[in-house]
Chains A and B, each alone.
Chain A
Amino acid sequence: MVNAGDTAWVLMSSALVLLMTPALAFFYGGMVRRKNVLSVLMQCFIIVCVLSIQWVVIGYSLSFAPSKGFWGGLQWLGLNGVGLEPYADYAGTIPHQAFMVFQMMFAIITPALIIGAFAERMKFSAFLVFTLLWATFVYDPLCHWVWGMGGWLRNIGALDFAGGTVVHINAGIAALVTAIVLGKRSNLDKNVPTPHNMPFVVLGTALLWFGWFGFNAGSALAANGLAVNAFVVTNTAAAAAGLSWALIEWLRNGKPTIFGVCSGAVAGLVAITPAAGFVSVIPAIIIGMLVSVFCFIAVTVIKPLFGYDDSLDAFGVHCVGGIWGALATGLFASRLVNSAGADGLFFGNPKQFLVQLAAVGVTIVYTSVVTLIIYKLVDLFIGVRVDEKSEAMGLDLTQHHERAYTVLE
């Protein structure tokens, strides 16, 4: 039976999650130098276009059509048989297409997150081919394993409420591979790039936070108590993490920064994502406070130590925050919150922690290997990096023949 309230909420949530990709565009766009801001906005927007089509043609079937195989089945290609009646195995009270379009928005934002690692130096044509291949060979299979009927990680009981593994660890580890394969931006040691428009970063963060209510609370797939729980813990964790990052900066660097609060808030949103439907509010505060510690160490200590150029910290925030969130779900999950979930380590079920660890491990290994293969292929045929002169002039002018800001008039 289609429920009007549930359907309205899932449609609204889908729109909220869609907004997160343009929000990410501003979050990332503000962080790059101004000669590259349009290239980042362009990459985010074109992903919306490309993956919206990929998803209805093949992506949804490869991800969600019931199958025990590597991908989902092929029976739902072109949305064949995906109609306006509920499909009870996924969501019993909303039209099947509402579930499909909600999931589409996750398939769109995940590859967009990787932009943070290759910003300011990737060739646009190579980026397009990479994105399409990555969505099809990395996102779709992993999505099937974790969320699809017959998916093997789903069957061993891995908990991922709204996409900590499928979205954040997945994109985050791909980002690390990206940063290593592409190499550093040139002149990095002499010319440390500073964010060109901090208000854009703040605007992007605000819209991400807003959209994340759809991401997490929408993942209840109904307008019910579970959605409210997800909504509340999402807000709580983001707040705790933003505060915590600012405090860390205050103690360590002498001044808290708005960039820090934004980074922390996003890290908190990442970390609560897998846990949102399984934990209550006090664990959400702990998850949020601690994620900033881990991510802060990742971006200020680990990154310089190993020297990879993860330009906008897609790995440092999304992968590290995502891993903490997935493991924290194994610690703090409670059946009192969600009877369909499981208890975590602190609620007497240590096995759940190991299952979470296994899902994280599988994601890291699978995604890094396949991402590397895709890069090598794209590099062979197209070349992934722009030449040095184009990089110096900026991608806006050299890849798109546009510039963001005029100086005269």
Chain B
Amino acid sequence: MKLVIAIIQPYKLEEVKEELYKSEINLITVSEVLGHGRQMGVTEVYRGAKETGNLLRKMRLEIAVNDNYLEPAIKAIVKGAKTGETGDGKIFVLELKECVRIRTEERGPVAIG
């Protein structure tokens, strides 16, 4: 079991979701986050006071997958989120120790799907 965490451009969310659905990955958690990588932030100006390097809005996706779904998930996220410009985001893959479906108390790979 793996936990996939992806940071993407907010306006790419719909396309990423669409690609994930095509790969039969339907269970995702999305949160709104702030951050910046190489793209750096934008300069904001409030009554003449500059604030440089401000953080940009990004979307963070968390997807728990069984091992055979890992590559399809990565491919789907890349396909949906890639523009080729800086700021497209990153994908992190973590080992997932355990997964419990609260409703049934099932554990392990069967609880993920």
**A interface residues with partner B (beta carbon < 8 Å):** 35, 187, 190-191, 389, 392-393, 397-398, 401-403, 407-408
Contact = CB atoms under 8 A, between A and B. Distances in A.
A389 B44 contact: no
A408 B57 CA distance: 11
Given A191-B14, A407-B57, A397 B46 contact: no
Contact of B34 (A35, A397, A398, A407): A407
Contacts of A35: 57
Nearest to B32: A407
Contact of A397 (B9, B44, B85): B44
Nearest to B17: A190
A35 B85 CA distance: 20
B33 to A, nearest CB: 8
Given A389-B85, A392-B9, A407-B32, A190 B15 contact: yes
Nearest to A34: B57
B42 A187 contact: no
Interface of B: 9, 11, 13-15, 18, 32, 34, 42-46, 55-57, 85
B34 A402 contact: no
B45 A401 contact: yes
Contacts of B42: 393, 397-398, 401
Given A190-B18, A389-B85, A403 B44 contact: yes
Given A190-B18, A407-B34, A407-B57, A392 B43 contact: no
Contact of B11 (A392, A397, A401): A392
A392 B85 CA distance: 13
A408 B55 CA distance: 10
Given A389-B85, A397-B44, 7 more contacts: A187-B11, A392-B11, A401-B45, A407-B32, A407-B57, A408-B34, A408-B55
A408 B51 CA distance: 14
12 contacts: A35-B57, A187-B11, A190-B14, A190-B18, A191-B11, A389-B85, A392-B9, A398-B42, A401-B44, A401-B45, A402-B46, A403-B44
A35 B15 CA distance: 19
Contacts of A403: 44
Contacts of B57: 35, 407
A190 B13 CA distance: 10
Nearest to B51: A401
B32 to A, nearest CB: 7
B46 to A, nearest CB: 7
B44 A402 contact: yes
Contacts of B18: 190
Contacts of A190: 14-15, 18
A335 to B, nearest CB: 57
A257 B43 CA distance: 39
A402 B46 CA distance: 7
A402 B45 contact: yes
Contacts of A401: 42-45
Contacts of B34: 407-408
Contacts of A398: 42
Q: Which of A398, A403, A408 has the most CB of B within 10 A?
A: A403
A191 B18 CA distance: 11
A187 B13 CA distance: 11
Contacts of A191: 11, 13-14
